[in-house]
Structure 1
Amino acid sequence: MPGSEQLSESRAQLMTQLRTRILPHLRTAELPAVVVFGGSSGAGKSTLFNSLLGEEVSPASVIRPTTRMPLIAVHPSDVVALDGHGLLDMGKLVAVEGAIPGVVLVDAPDLDSVDAANRELSRRLLDAADLWVFVTTAARYGDAQAWQTLSDAHRRGMTTAVVLNRVADRARYTVRKDLTRRMNDVGIGNDPLMLVPDAGPHEGLLEPGQVAEVRTWLEAIASARIGAALVDRTTQAMLPELRRQLLELSDAVEMQASAVEHLRAQAEEAPKKPREKLVSNAKMGRFGQGAPTTAWLSFASSGGALASLAVGEKPGLLVRRYQGSRDAAVTTVFDGVMSAIRAGLDQAVTTTDEAIRQAWDQGMVETAEFQFEAATVLNKREIIDTALSRWKSDVLTMSAGVGDNPWLGHGGVAALLGAAAGGVSGAEQACSHLKVASSIRKARESLATHLDEAVGEVVSAYNGVLDQVPVGNGRQLRLRASEYLDRV
């Protein structure tokens, strides 16, 4: 539906917050604060991350993307507290002696990674953060995507900090002034802004003094129990947004359910006219017109194989031995009826398929994928063959009660009944001679039923795809949202 991408993003945010923030804090009172290092490619996140830990735990390289598997670094004393935490499903946990007790550091993939999966994972890690540290450089701090992410984080109540990395002394004042202005513009002017001086070309870790400001700030968060206050602040700020998302998603779920039902109604309505025409023709016996009737008249004319049957005249002993030719003749007439029925059913099935596609194409929902899935299971020829085969079987059963007669064998009687049911008037009259005229209406009803079911199978192919859409329960979701009223 229109807006589905944004709604999917909102759902992903909400699910991440539930798994990594709401549920873990309900299970465990004491949890370390989650600090996620994010930013654009080439900002030096991994080098800063490693330098703060005093150990090479996250690969740093000029090859992009560098960070593919997020690293979750904790002090060994915090490993138990993270047991079962949803954050562990998003990256690799490493216990590092140089980590800060009470703080979890996460090295996230680049926000602008060329890998879509990396970009998605980076967004989800930001949703899981108690604090987001945006790492940028003097050359990259103006990137629009990063600032849009900062603005969104502020709107959702997330606590942020900015680390300006690789700052040359000559540019320190100018860059800091402009960066401060940008932070004020997006509403985070009061958030921490820390600078890491440019170390020039180098490999490995930065000197401890170069990251001292960031390290001291993180230690203060942990030691002064600011971390717990930070978690509470982020959680409380998140709840109103979470409730808004729940209400928005509940509306979307109900819209989705309505959209699915609308598509289902369109699929049911599409074959209405061809379906009614097909069933009416079957019940009124209109498939015997044209070629089948002409064939009957030829066989029933004087000297023809069906001449005696047409008038109810029992053939003499000499003629009775030609029963096979009479069976073949009436079968030829019945085959003509079957061809007419097949043509009518094929037209109805094709018209129904096209009508459903056309109706779905004109709606607001993008249905190309649904139509493709329906096409993979829709076998028109098999549907038609099955319907005709079942009807022939019914006709054979209905004619089984006719005993020996001087004109036709069992197969011939069945063909005669089928021709009569199809609407060959001469065959209808001949049925009275074999005492099966009473079965003609029943055979027509059977034909109408099988044709109707065949068209219904086309509809079912499309509705079967809709059955796979998990629409959820919007009312129940709205009820869950109301439970946050006493927390907001």
Structure 2
Amino acid sequence: MTMKPTAVLDTFAEHLATVDLPLPVDGAEQARGQVTSARSQLADHVVPRLESLDAPLLVVIGGSTGAGKSTLVNALVGETASRSGAIRPTTRRPVLLHNPADEPWFTGTRILPGLARVRAGGEAGGRGATTGAVSDTAIAGGSVPGGPAPVARPGPDEEAAGDVHPATSLELSAQARVPQGLALLDAPDIDSVAAGNRELARQLLRAADLWLFVTTANRYADAVPWEVLRTAAERDVRVDVVMNRIPDREGVSEELATDLREMLERHGIDVTHLFLVHETELDEQGMLPPAEIAELQQHFSALAADAGGRGRIARRTLAGAIAGLAGSAREIASHARAQEAERQRLRDEALAAFTGARERIDEALGDGSLLRGEVLARWQDVVGTGEFFRGVENLVSRVRDRIGLAISGRPAPSVAAEQALGTGLVHVVIDESARGAERADASWRATPAGRYLAEGRDLSRIPEGYREQVSTAIRAWQGDVLELVRSEGADRRTKARLLSLGVNAVGVALMVVVFASTAFVPTGLEVGAGAATAVVGQKLLETIFGEEAVRRMARVARERLSSRLDALVADRSGPFLDLLDELGDHGSADLLEADADALDQLAGTIREDA
């Protein structure tokens, strides 16, 4: 099956639509602008031109404020078709002048689909067709590509003097004096005081097959036009230049023309034609003398008559535009990679903070911290009760004597010890998770991208319900330990010993063993007591279940505890990671780089055709 000519462009457009560059890293704002420009250029010029290589050549007339673009356009068609004046910006809404026979090419959304169409009033080609007058048979609305464009009637924003709002419509003016096969588009000033109009002017220039740049004898060296001219040169757009308002003195035209050509050559801008228009009096209708524009008019007539020449210009500009899009694709891909790298850096910072929290929890479990204070007191209650040491007293009597008997009258000491262990572990988890969140939040807020994500959020705050979530998880683990003890003590002999001591008491002993690190070195009386109680628990379990079984039970209990602790800490890191996951699609850089290669290949094919 033959591939559609625009398939490469369609794929590129789809990938551009998914590009997400939200983080404020270096160049991100510029890259977002490149995405917008590339999408508009595809829709405004590249796709419609590739689909309709025989469509009229679009000549966009652009230049600086007050260069006389509209006056020049009016002179070419012999009537006031484009408004001009002293108020800046002078051209507020772009005007597209076309031969009546070419009207179907422009009434729909084939090019510049984002601009609604407005039809100038009066008979096509007749006198009195004035800018801004909308006929009663204005173009019917619709937004289907290739179909009618939406109607827009001029509103107060576009008509008010000194308007600074960018135009949202394109005025169509059918003019018999515009030769068939050409269309002239009078664009807003490229250095307009209105930022929206400046961007619109550049958008229209990106839609041009040929750019007619209008400047004046005293402004042709201005910086802004040369910046735009360089962009045109990079895209290999065909550029013709009009130098307007040249003083009518001997030798001035030649001198200025020579200087301008040298400047163009220094900037690497290949201009095919340079037209010189002298400063002269306008007639009562504001028209230039016909002789001043005769050369330009003849040039357009000859171009309109040369279908092959128009085709070569259209293909050359199209190939340049597509090659330019390939360059943009690579630059956007580079910025997409920068975004991905920044996302990964922020993710690594958050994970490192919570990995540290998780490690500190393990340290607290293994360094005897949980076997002090209330936990130690409750454990001593357990090991100091007579029923606990029935049958194993000879093994632990010396340790029991050092620890001391439990205070009499306390009910269910094993349950109290279990609760004390659970409470201590809950506190450790919450405290260390909070420290992890504070560190992650601080590291994020140290960079612009992190501050952007953390803006308006208190990521270090303990979420509502997290304390209960931790308590529930720890109680569940303690239930796992008791079930492990029951399961291991299922045979008759072991079961008898287990029942004589109590499942809870033996379960607490296993919890103590899990919390006691094999590398534990006691320092101080209280810690030493904690170490001794861990030894008591170990000996007790080995007496009941055997050494191998105790090692297996301790390993399983540690693994289950570790799994639950991992989940608790991971849940606390969730708000940070969720913000990163919400940033959107990943992997767009690879797609865009593949698009760039395909676009380069397409541009080369079109150049060969040209």
Task: Within 5 Å, give how 1:181-196 maps onto structure 2.
Answer: 181-187=259-265, 188=270, 190-195=272-277
How many matched pairs? 465
CA contact (8 A) 2:212 2:242 kept: yes
- CA spacing shift, 1:155–1:440, aligned 2, 3 Å: closer
* Matched residue SS, 1:69: coil
> How far did 1:109 drift?
1.6
Q: Does 1:346 align with 2:434?
A: yes
> How far did 1:478 drift?
1.0
Per the alignment, residue 365 of structure 1 pairs with: none
Distance 1:194 1:232 in 2: 26
Distance 1:87 1:180 in 2: 36
- CA spacing shift, 1:378–1:68, aligned 2, 3 Å: farther
Per the alignment, residue 303 of structure 1 pairs with: none
> How far did 1:92 drift?
0.9
Task: Within 5 Å, give how 1:266-305 maps onto structure 2.
Answer: 266-270=345-349, 274-283=353-362, 285-286=364-365, 293-297=372-376, 300=378
Structure number with greater Rg is 2
Q: 1:224-270: CA deviations, max 9, x gaps? A: 63464453233343356446435534544554454345445434544
Per the alignment, residue 457 of structure 1 pairs with: 574
Q: 1:185 is matched by which residue type in structure 2?
A: M
> How far did 1:174 drift?
1.9
Distance 2:592 2:278 in 1: 50
Distance 2:67 2:421 in 1: 83
Distance 1:276 1:347 in 2: 11
Distance 1:476 1:163 in 2: 37
> How far did 1:186 drift?
0.8
Q: 2:171 is matched by which residue type in structure 1?
A: L
CA contact (8 A) 2:54 2:311 kept: no
- CA spacing shift, 1:328–1:25, aligned 2, 3 Å: same
Distance 1:75 1:229 in 2: 19
Q: 2:47 is matched by which residue type in structure 1?
A: L
Per the alignment, residue 605 of structure 2 pairs with: 486
- CA spacing shift, 1:58–1:190, aligned 2, 3 Å: closer
Deviates more, 1:101-110 or 1:84-93: 84-93
Unaligned runs of 5+ in 2: 1-24, 116-168, 389-407, 484-498, 517-529, 546-552
Distance 2:431 2:375 in 1: 20
Of residues 252, 262, 266, the one that matches 1:174 is 252
Of residues 24, 47, 72, the one that matches 2:96 is 72
CA contact (8 A) 2:346 2:450 kept: no
CA contact (8 A) 2:441 2:459 kept: no
Task: Within 5 Å, give how 1:45-444 maps onto structure 2.
Answer: 45-82=69-106, 83-90=108-115, 91-97=169-175, 100=178, 101-170=180-249, 173-174=251-252, 177-187=255-265, 188=270, 190-195=272-277, 197-199=279-281, 205-207=285-287, 209-210=288-289, 213-214=292-293, 217-218=296-297, 221-222=300-301, 225-226=304-305, 228-238=307-317, 241-242=320-321, 244-249=323-328, 251-252=330-331, 255-256=334-335, 258-270=337-349, 274-283=353-362, 285-286=364-365, 293-297=372-376, 300=378, 308-309=381-382, 311-312=384-385, 334-355=422-443, 368-369=448-449, 371-373=451-453, 375=455, 379-382=459-462, 388-399=467-478, 441=558, 444=561
Unaligned runs of 5+ in 1: 301-305, 362-367
Q: 1:125-173: CA deviations, max 9, x gaps? A: 1122122222223332231221343344345332333333344535x74
Q: 2:98 is matched by which residue type in structure 1?
A: V
Of residues 42, 49, 56, the one that matches 2:66 is 42
CA contact (8 A) 1:41 1:65 kept: yes
CA contact (8 A) 1:73 1:105 kept: yes
Q: Does 1:445 align with 2:445?
A: no
After superposition, the CA RMSD in angstroms is: 4.9
Work out the percentage of aligned pairs sharing the same amino acid: 23
> How far did 1:7 drift?
6.5
- CA spacing shift, 1:330–1:396, aligned 2, 3 Å: closer
* Matched residue SS, 1:161: strand
Q: 2:192 is matched by which residue type in structure 1?
A: S
CA contact (8 A) 1:130 1:234 kept: yes
- CA spacing shift, 1:243–1:289, aligned 2, 3 Å: same
Distance 1:414 1:77 in 2: 94
- TM-score calculated relative to the size of structure 2: 0.61
Distance 1:92 1:416 in 2: 84
Per the alignment, residue 43 of structure 2 pairs with: 19
